[in-house]
Structure 1
Amino acid sequence: MKVASKSGSQSFGSQESNNGRFGDIVLQPDTTKYKLHAVIGKGSFENVTVHLAQHIPSGQKIAIKCIDIENSPVEFNIFQDEVILCRQMCHENIAKYLCTFVNNNELWSVMPLLGYGSARDVLHAYFKTGLPETAIAYILRDVLNALEYLHHRGIIHRSVRASHILIGGNGSVCLSGLRKVYHMFHHGRKWNQVHNYPEACSADLQWLSPEILEQNLSGYDTKSDIYSLGITSWELANGYPPFEDMPVTQMLLEKVNGTKPMLLDCTTISDLTGEEHAQHNAELENGGIDIVALAKARKFSSHFHSLIDRCLEKNPKCRPSAEGLLSDPMFKHLKKRSSEALPNLLQPLTPINLANLANVSDDKAVDSVINSMEQMDVTEEWSF
């Protein structure tokens, strides 16, 4: 447990403008108002940790992301731009910063507690061979709602991946990772294509589109996010992203040549090449999962296969838009909100949520509750 001193706290802007609201609770940019409990996740870099925390005046359980600014490989203004953008966004499927301020050498961002962590956490904790297709459909629908909102405002996300999809204990889904967004509006004019290459993007290469990686004169637009969504869909279905064990240069070549990863099920497993079968056998010898047996035992819908195939088109003009995908047949059968369906679909995972922490107040008890949730691997990345 950590309680910071008030000295050294500095908010972005005025005190009034930096007060956040969580329901009827006012969250102040003052470290003495918060207790940090157990670490429930880590960010993209070692200098980022996510804590279960408590707002002392109200007793409300929240999450606080702490960034060690002095040891960050990213310039401070990048984090500052992310905070400003998050405060401008108003959409239920985009991650919210309720309150942000600087405490000595750390940037603290107060957020709602999202009990399942990221979709990547969920995969690693229990669904190592992929999520059920219905769960994927609910998650993708909410991510598409977030992307449609961003794209309508000329914003390219540039980092759509499972670790940037956060799932609340009630089944709500929101997209995070806004640190790498790029605005297509400049000086009041919207550019049709942009040519800015994302900084510190080595961790995103598997998800980035061919047109971003090529860095040519054609540039890229919001359709690059649709390619990343296709890769993320594959990741959610199979438990890991494509190109994972491939050398970077080979992966880049495969993408530029238009190679499309296929969902692994009984309809596609026969299409594996001899080289891919050899790689599979090597993985089995090292204690890996029997992918061939797994694929032969399951079948994804033709709508899901089609969605991924269209998202991974080499030519961005041939990819659908986020708005167009929202009317895709894959989502036609979804009659509920994600918050009504996902908790059942993600069983037997138990989220860290307000219900199982409601009567917990002291530090040791909070840590005990978290440690008892053995299904959740809290050392996994919980990216923002």
Structure 2
Amino acid sequence: MSLLDCFCTSRTQVESLRPEKQSETSIHQHLVDAPAFSHLPPSTRAKDVICSTNVSHYELQVEIGRGFDNLTTVHLARHTPTGTLVTIKITNLENCTDERLKALQKAVILSHFFRHPNITTYWTVFTVGSWLWVISPFMAYGSASQLLKTYFPEGMNETLIRNILFGAVRGLSYLHQNGCIHRSIKASHILISGDGLVTLSGLSHLHSLVKHGQRHRAVYDFPQFSTSVQPWLSPELLRQDLHGYNVKSDIYSVGITACELASGQVPFQDMHRTQMLLQKLKGPPYSPLDVSIFPPSESRMKNSRSGVDSGIGESVLVSSGTHTGNSDRLQTPSSKTFSPAFFSLVQLCLQQDPEKRPSASSLLSHVFFKQPYFEFL
């Protein structure tokens, strides 16, 4: 089967999010009051599978994001025969290098073979001239980074962080069990559907540990990552030495993402790149929580600057283009309390030695994910 063949899987019907009708209370309750949604499969109320490769069957509504280093535009669209809202990623293949083309091909093929509720699904893939169209379910709440920017500029509370991270780590555990390293775990690659389902996107960055039927302990593939992605990358991946890296590299990124969700800021964003690299490569285990969120002797979070989307990944939220005022944001308290379990999770993930980090499957059993959901509201 070629890259341009139609890949169809079961689809999920989700209701569109109308930002003008969503009060601050309603969005918070929807995301927080349904902890099980982070690990439930898609709704069974789906209609027929959308496999149409006829471009006239799709009505583009609005551009809602960009990804793949701005080579891809993300659109909210309507499948006119059924009236279903979908997300369409459109990429001009003529602007892609050979490395980018291989990454796109890999993402399409892997999406076809992966079957997990917490991994983003591609319904249909086809070309229109030199343009690649990828049709996927519409994720009404967009990415976690867009939630931060639009509703939680000072960071999310622990309950919401727990829901989002649990779904993301569950999807990551599935990838690791299948011998794959994601290599781009961050808030903009965590998507949330209208019914609260959390999925991982960004499969174009993925790399397999399996070669010629054998699973290797480490890989030595070091793609040319954008410098803006470096805050999430592990020390061993940045080091690019003979030791290589493995799935534990993703666990480090989970820790950085946890800090991102808690603070509303991209960790290390105010640090010079050279200083950040030295801190990661030579310094002791370092948590952005120690500096960017909490004073060393306190457990309360000070006021921080409003979060900004890093601009990386597939951030898709309809409201991002129409609602950016403070009145539309769900303000969090100026000081928040985070549990010792949350600190423990972050510290474990950010261990300098990858062997000291937990696996994704064992991370799901961490006490942070076992706490009562409303204990720290």
TM-score by length of 1: 0.74
> 1:195 corresponds to which residue?
220
Tell whether 2:281 aligns with 1:243. no
> 1:12 corresponds to which residue?
3
* Separation in 1, partners of 2:106, 2:284: 34
Amino acid at match of 2:85: K
> 1:260 corresponds to which residue?
286
Q: Give the secondary structure class of the aligned counterpart of 2:217.
A: coil
2:339 equivalent among 284, 289, 301: 301
Tell whether 2:69 aligns with 1:45. yes
Amino acid at match of 2:355: K
Tell whether 2:359 aligns with 1:328. no
Q: Give the secondary structure class of the aligned counterpart of 1:245.
A: coil
> Is the contact between residue 21 and residue 27 of structure 1 (CA under 8 Å) also seen in structure 2?
no
Q: Give the secondary structure class of the aligned counterpart of 1:64.
A: strand
Q: State the 1:235 CA deviation.
A: 0.3
Structure 1 residues 270, 190: CA separation in 2 closer, same or farther (over 3 Å shift)?
Answer: closer
Tell whether 2:214 aligns with 1:176. no
2:78 equivalent among 54, 64, 85: 54
Tell whether 2:56 aligns with 1:32. yes
> 1:211 corresponds to which residue?
236
Amino acid at match of 1:203: S
* Separation in 1, partners of 2:117, 2:346: 25
- Tell me how many residue pairs correspond in the alignment: 307
Structure 1 residues 143, 217: CA separation in 2 closer, same or farther (over 3 Å shift)?
Answer: same
Structure 1 residues 63, 154: CA separation in 2 closer, same or farther (over 3 Å shift)?
Answer: same
Stretches of structure 1 lacking an aligned partner (at least 5 in a row): 1-10, 282-293, 337-344, 346-384
* Separation in 1, partners of 2:372, 2:94: 46
Q: State the 1:265 CA deviation.
A: 9.4
Structure 1 residues 124, 175: CA separation in 2 closer, same or farther (over 3 Å shift)?
Answer: same
Q: State the 1:295 CA deviation.
A: 9.8
> Is the contact between residue 18 and residue 29 of structure 1 (CA under 8 Å) also seen in structure 2?
no
Q: Give the secondary structure class of the aligned counterpart of 1:194.
A: coil
> 1:166 corresponds to which residue?
191
> Is the contact between residue 27 and residue 55 of structure 1 (CA under 8 Å) also seen in structure 2?
no
Q: State the 1:200 CA deviation.
A: 3.2
> 1:67 corresponds to which residue?
91
Comparing 101-110 with 195-204, which one deviates more in the overlay? 195-204
Structure 1 residues 201, 153: CA separation in 2 closer, same or farther (over 3 Å shift)?
Answer: farther
Q: State the 1:67 CA deviation.
A: 1.1
Q: State the 1:28 CA deviation.
A: 1.5
* Separation in 2, partners of 1:152, 1:91: 12
* Separation in 1, partners of 2:293, 2:223: 36
Amino acid at match of 2:56: T
Tell whether 2:97 aligns with 1:90. no
* Separation in 2, partners of 1:134, 1:19: 35
* Separation in 2, partners of 1:334, 1:103: 50
Structure 1 residues 218, 161: CA separation in 2 closer, same or farther (over 3 Å shift)?
Answer: same
> 1:134 corresponds to which residue?
159
Amino acid at match of 1:53: A
Q: State the 1:35 CA deviation.
A: 1.1
Q: State the 1:33 CA deviation.
A: 1.5
The one-character-per-residue Cα deviations of 1:44-63 (angstroms, maximum 9, x if unpaired) are 42231111111121111111
> Is the contact between residue 87 and residue 135 of structure 2 (CA under 8 Å) also seen in structure 1?
yes
Q: State the 1:262 CA deviation.
A: 4.2
> 1:382 corresponds to which residue?
none
Comparing 200-209 with 164-173, which one deviates more in the overlay? 200-209
> 1:6 corresponds to which residue?
none
Structure 1 residues 19, 318: CA separation in 2 closer, same or farther (over 3 Å shift)?
Answer: closer
* Separation in 1, partners of 2:359, 2:158: 21
* Separation in 2, partners of 1:140, 1:60: 28
> Is the contact between residue 8 and residue 122 of structure 2 (CA under 8 Å) also seen in structure 1?
no
> 1:291 corresponds to which residue?
none
* Separation in 1, partners of 2:204, 2:138: 20
TM-score by length of 2: 0.76
Amino acid at match of 2:284: G
Q: Give the secondary structure class of the aligned counterpart of 1:151.
A: helix
> 1:111 corresponds to which residue?
136
Amino acid at match of 1:215: Q
> Is the contact between residue 64 and residue 74 of structure 2 (CA under 8 Å) also seen in structure 1?
yes
Comparing 120-129 with 41-50, which one deviates more in the overlay? 41-50
The one-character-per-residue Cα deviations of 1:335-384 (angstroms, maximum 9, x if unpaired) are 79xxxxxxxx9xxxxxxxxxxxxxxxxxxxxxxxxxxxxxxxxxxxxxxx
Tell whether 2:175 aligns with 1:150. yes
Structure 1 residues 217, 188: CA separation in 2 closer, same or farther (over 3 Å shift)?
Answer: same
**RMSD in angstroms over aligned alpha carbons?**
2.6
Q: State the 1:198 CA deviation.
A: 2.6
